[in-house]
């Protein structure tokens, strides 16, 4: 036999009561809030040796989404199998307006390793 649950717990010390709804009561739909966070990560810092296009994939056949200026800094994210293209995350807003944390592909020929680093990214 199923019994409907209707439970009341009085908390005298606090002067309050906690009331559990009966099983037949409808549950409220929870609301969701999106919150921006900043994470701090280790990175390998590179810079562009000249003005270079940032692309959506590892070849000139992919769309250019913007440009890095000479000495704009990026974090190494990955590379294609031959190592000729590097997937990067911008460590600063680029000279040409790409926002910090933009991820894209750059020809490895136009990047120079600077040092290990510690940076913040928006997640």
Domain coordinates of the chain in residue numbers? 39-122
Pair of tokens at residue 61? 């056949």
Would you state the pLDDT for residue 67? 97
Give pLDDT, residue 122.
62
Q: Are 85 and 59 in contact (CB under 8 A)?
A: yes
Tell me: the pLDDT tens digits for 73-123?
999 999 999 999 999 999 899 999 999 999 999 999 999 998 766 656 566
pLDDT bin (cut points 50, 70, 90) of residue 21 is very low
CATH code of the domain occupying 39-122: 2.30.30.40
**What is the pLDDT, as a whole number, of residue 12?**
37
82-to-49, 88, 107, 110 alpha-carbon distances in Å: 20, 16, 11, 15
| CA 27 centroid distance within chain | 33
pTM for the full predicted model: 0.62
Q: Which helix H or strand E contains 38, and what residues bound it? A: strand 38-48
Write out pLDDT tens, residues 28-59: 555 665 556 666 556 688 999 999 999 999 99
């Amino acid at each position: 036999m199923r019994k409907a649950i209707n439970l009341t717990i009085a908390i005298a010390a606090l002067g309050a009561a906690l009331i559990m709804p009966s099983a037949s009561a409808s549950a409220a739909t929870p609301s969701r809030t999106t919150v921006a966070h900043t994470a701090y990560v280790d990175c390998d810092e590179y810079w562009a040796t000249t003005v270079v296009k940032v692309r959506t994939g590892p070849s000139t056949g992919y769309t250019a989404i913007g440009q890095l200026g000479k000495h704009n800094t990026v974090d190494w994210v990955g590379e294609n199998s031959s190592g000729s293209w590097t997937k990067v995350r911008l460590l600063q807003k680029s000279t040409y307006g790409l926002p910090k944390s933009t991820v894209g592909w750059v020809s490895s020929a136009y990047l120079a390793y600077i040092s290990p680093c510690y940076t913040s990214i928006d997640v």
